Chain A
Amino acid sequence: MTNQMSEAPPSAARSTASAPSRPDERSDETCIHIRQFNAWYGAFQAIHELNLDIPKAQVTAFIGPSGCGKSTLLRWINRMNDIVPSAHARGTLNLAGADVLADTTDVVNLRRQVGMVFQKPNPFPKTIFDNVAFGPRLHLRLQRGELEELVQWSLQKAAVWDEVKDRLHAPALGLSGGQQQRLCIARAIAVGPDVLLMDEPCSALDPASTLAIEDLIYELREQYTIVMVTHNMQQASRCSDRTAFFFEGRLIESGPTEDVFTKPKEKRTDDYVRGRFG
């Protein structure tokens, strides 16, 4: 899949020329490599000069007050902001070595590789089966049996199989909010992504469903690189390996979750994680 995106990224030269302003915190292998990243909505600059490495097969949480640019960054990783006409970005955003922002990037393949789960559960008004089969049907020609197998695998992976296996052909909108969100996760992983982006995946759910999703996120990181935006401090501390704190469009601090929460280097991070503002 990465082959299709391995053309020499035009902005690679820029990124190597300028040294990262922050010491590199790479733990293992870097999956997403962001350097001097700027993003705008029209004239409004949402992200300023951001440098960040997101490691592979770990959960990275983006925290920060509303409007700090964390969702914007998330939506640039799979070029979701392409739908917003006024949105544009400059800088380096490499995913497994391929330049995401390049004009030549095939967004269809990019989004196959980078799945997304949204704030509000948004299943299609179709059956549970058709929801999960939607992505595979877009990209592949599968036999009925293979498709059924894939749907089952995805639903099992998303820990929702036991609840829906008897009503696969019932409308997805009949599920509870938490089940719908897990269905959306199943739908995302059915396409076979390497990265999962989650934009406040639990903010519209009750505590019990939230817990189920958090457990799921914890499970999924074995196989997927997960980037999660959250407003919930406890959630970030519970289920993420690394945390990045954003404030007013800038990355203030990033590091292992434990460090960010217990001994932050910046005062603003400290204030935020202690709930003094935001």
Chain B
Amino acid sequence: MNEASATDETQGSRGTVPLASASDLSDNSRRRKLHSRLFYGLCVLISLVSVCVLVVLLVSIGVQGKSRLTQSLLTGAHSELNPESAGMWPAIVGSIGILGVCALAALPLGIGTAVFLEEFKPTNRWLRSLHGFIQLNIANLAGVPSIVYGLLGLSLFVFMFNVFGQIKVNESSGIELMGVERYYQLLTLRGNGHTVLIPQTDLSQPTITVDEPVMGIDPQGRPIQIGVWDPGTPKPSADEERRRTVKRGRVGGVYAKTSWNYFRLPFGRSFLAAGLTLSLVILPIVIIASQESLRSVSPSLREASYGLGATNWQTVRHVSLPAAIPGIMTGSILAMGRAIGEAAPVLVVLGATVAKNTGPQHLMDNVVTMPVLIFNWAGRQQATYQELAAAAIIILLMILLLMNSVAIYLRQRLRVD
């Protein structure tokens, strides 16, 4: 009974619909269409606002910086005295060097972690909770401000928690493993200050006093006998002898001859430390991007591989990774773009030095990076430096654009195959 009456009622209310006047209906539809158009307009307006901000930024930077977009900007180095000729070559090389270290550290670690998290899901209960713990932490690490990573890098890479002794910044200390030879350097009697070197045996002695003849080497690396001349006696007459004779009591200072593979612990304020710090900044991004693209590999491909008797590793190596590589590369390049633009962690790790004429000469060398140089220039009073900063921003943006285009190209290119 109740059911019957209920159906009656619904039929009744349904019956009222045709009673609504035709004008009501069309009014309603007109209103809905109007709302739809209004919302469309609102969306366009909102997106225009963000585009406008970007355009204003680019135009103002372009106007300010275009007069400084010269060849000397690309080839020169920072100059305190002559801003007209200042350039950013060492900063470009420095940024690329740091980026290289960063990529070498972050990509294998990040992709490896992603493979572990996505492809080697453990069945063991303890491992599974470890798995979940890592996953949770990565999500959180992605949100940590980069300056915090800078401070971590400072204690972890620059000082290494002072495990290798108290480190004075910009001084050679700690454990030197390779790529460096230390000498005392002395001036001989020959006119314009000919230098000879004596190998430093006791690293704790910052100077040497020459009182008697010793063995040394000349600037060409040939071993020579260093003679001693007493003031008051006649100097050796032969030029060859003068070249290798020093005044008795002459004090020599330390001179370090480094090759590119100079390596020491801790890393100190070096581009190696900066690159590793930046790799910490982008590690979560690389992991998350790689995980996403591994997750998007169709499970049926994995099943096919397992079904043929492939091991976990064979499946990862031959099926999952090849299918995920376009996404992984895109994510990694975008992460690199983030790294090249980071100023805060680099400032913390390397300090704010900009007076450097070259890129990194060895692994432990300090470098200037583009964001740090821009930061320095933009903070100066002179209009020339302001313009230089704008021009440097243009160069940085162009490099970033280039990297992003490569990412898009790779994604398109590899996806088709």
- Chain A residues near B (Cβ < 8 Å): 78, 80, 83, 85, 107-112, 115-116, 118, 120, 122-125, 134-135, 138-139, 171, 184, 187-188, 191
> Given A83-B302, A134-B308, A138-B310, 4 other A-B contacts at CB below 8 A?
A80-B303, A85-B123, A108-B309, A111-B308
When C-beta atoms are compared, the residue in chain A nearest to B302 turns out to be A83
Determine which of A108, A115, A123 lies in contact with B311 in the assembled complex, contact meaning CB atoms within 8 Å: A108
Contact B308 A184 (CB under 8 A): no
Assess whether B296 is interfacial by the CB under 8 Å rule.
Answer: no
Contact A83 B319 (CB under 8 A): no
Assess whether B304 is interfacial by the CB under 8 Å rule.
Answer: yes
Residues on A with C-beta less than 8 A from B318 are 134, 138
Residues on A with C-beta less than 8 A from B311 are 108, 138
Residues on A with C-beta less than 8 A from B305 are 124, 134
- Chain B residues near A (Cβ < 8 Å): 121, 123, 298, 300-311, 314, 318-319, 322-323, 417
For the complex formed, measure the closest distance between the CB of B62 and the CB atoms of chain A, giving whole angstroms.
44
When C-beta atoms are compared, the residue in chain A nearest to B298 turns out to be A122
25 A–B contacts, CB within 8 A, in A order: A80-B306, A83-B302, A108-B309, A110-B309, A112-B308, A112-B309, A116-B307, A118-B303, A118-B307, A122-B301, A122-B304, A125-B301, A125-B322, A125-B417, A134-B305, A138-B308, A138-B309, A138-B310, A138-B311, A139-B309, A171-B417, A187-B304, A188-B308, A191-B308, A191-B309
For the complex formed, measure the closest distance between the CB of A227 and the CB atoms of chain B, giving whole angstroms.
13
When C-beta atoms are compared, the residue in chain A nearest to B315 turns out to be A138
Cα distance, A83 to B122, chains bound together (Å): 10
Residues on B with C-beta less than 8 A from A111 are 306-309
Residues on A with C-beta less than 8 A from B302 are 83
Contact A135 B300 (CB under 8 A): no
Residues on B with C-beta less than 8 A from A118 are 300, 303-304, 307
When C-beta atoms are compared, the residue in chain A nearest to B300 turns out to be A122
Cα distance, A139 to B305, chains bound together (Å): 12
Contact A135 B308 (CB under 8 A): yes
For the complex formed, measure the closest distance between the CB of A231 and the CB atoms of chain B, giving whole angstroms.
18
Contact A124 B309 (CB under 8 A): no
Cα distance, A135 to B123, chains bound together (Å): 26
Cα distance, A85 to B123, chains bound together (Å): 7
